[in-house]
Amino acid sequence: MFSKIGRNDPCWCKSGKKYKNCHMAFDEKIHSYEREGHIVPSREIIKTPEQIEGIRESGKINIAVLDYVAEHIKEGMSTEEINTLVYDKTKELGGIPAPLNYEGFPKSVCTSINEQVCHGIPADDIILQDGDIINVDVSTIYNGYFSDSSRMFLIGDVSEEAKKLVQVTKECVELGLEQVKPWGFMGDMAQAVHDHATENGYTVVRDIGGHGVGLEFHEEPFVSYVTKKGTEMLLVPGMVFTIEPMVNMGTDEFYTDGGDNWSVYTEDGLPSAQWEIQVLVTEDGYEVLAY
Ligand code: MF3
Ligand code: CO
């Protein structure tokens, strides 16, 4: 997996230091986990300090765009208007909305209401109604670096049941986040997310998950929330990925709209919530890059 670098060659992280004085021990440590049978990250998904700085700047725009949506979102507004807010603010800050034309996605943001699980397409005739819960999923490209995070918004007077779903889902991502640390495992985060959701009587969507992100919109690894502590990919400093579970009030079964080929809905029509954090694994824990 790792191409052989000589001890005295320049380190792959572009620090300018010799490999033996930089990432050689780090690579050997990863390799020892691999020998024990663990899944380990390839060097391509471990970001250099320069790349991290770029992703951090992109994340700042993503946060600012979501803050802007938070200020303006209200009952009676169309999801197309949310799309315009996202497009305009992203451009004003020097970014590009990553969803626009991504694999044919026609808009700048995903807006998913109530029983919509994810990937809802903004439209003029989708109007925010009193009692709706909506996920606004924003992703930005800035200087070639990608960021991705999403939040839920409550429109008007939301039922206690739906409010609880939104709140518990937020707690899920935050409990998952607390598990992110170097030389831990992706499954540590996953289990924390899953346990909290199921303890509250909810289900977590299995086949749509999070992802590595930074140099591309979607990178390795696939981030599941149904795996166990101590399993899945080893976490090492410099990895960047999303924690974005879709938590359902009823069944975890879902289907994709045959008309637009994007919008995902719960099979039973019960609501689904999602929050998304973009996180960096650091030397001593984590740093939130977008939320
Ligand atoms: N922001 C979504 C994610 O979290 C991206 C969906 S792809 C799109 O991965 F084309 F629908 F934007
Ligand atoms: Co994402």
Please tell me whether the peptide bond between 10 and the residue prior to it is cis, using omega within 30 degrees of 0: no
Residue type, 288: V
Closest Cα to atom 12 of ligand 1: 99
The first and second tokens of residue 182, run together, are 């170097």
Q: Rounded to the nearest 5°, which phi and psi values hold at 149?
A: -155, 160
DSSP β-ladder status, 264-266 and 254-256: antiparallel
Q: Which of 175, 251, 239 is nearest to 213 (CA)?
A: 239
Please give the Cα distance from 114 to 9 (Å, whole number): 55
Q: How far is the CA of 99 from the centre of ligand 1 (A)?
A: 6
Tens of pLDDT, residues 102-122: 999 999 999 999 999 999 999
Tens of pLDDT, residues 209-233: 999 999 999 999 999 999 999 999 9
Q: How far is the CA of 208 from the centre of ligand 2 (A)?
A: 10
Helix axes 186-199, 160-178, angle to 10 degrees: 160
Overall size of the chain counted in residues? 291
pLDDT band, residue 256 (cuts 50/70/90):
very high
> Residue 195: is its pLDDT beyond 60?
yes
Ligand 1 residue neighbourhood (C-beta within 6 Å): 99, 102-103, 105, 110, 119, 137, 139, 148, 244, 276
Q: How far is the CA of 242 from the centre of ligand 2 (A)?
A: 6
DSSP β-ladder status, 272-274 and 286-290: unpaired
Please give the Cα distance from 226 to 273 (Å, whole number): 16
Asked if 147 and 244 count as a contact pair (C-beta separation under 8 A), the reply is no
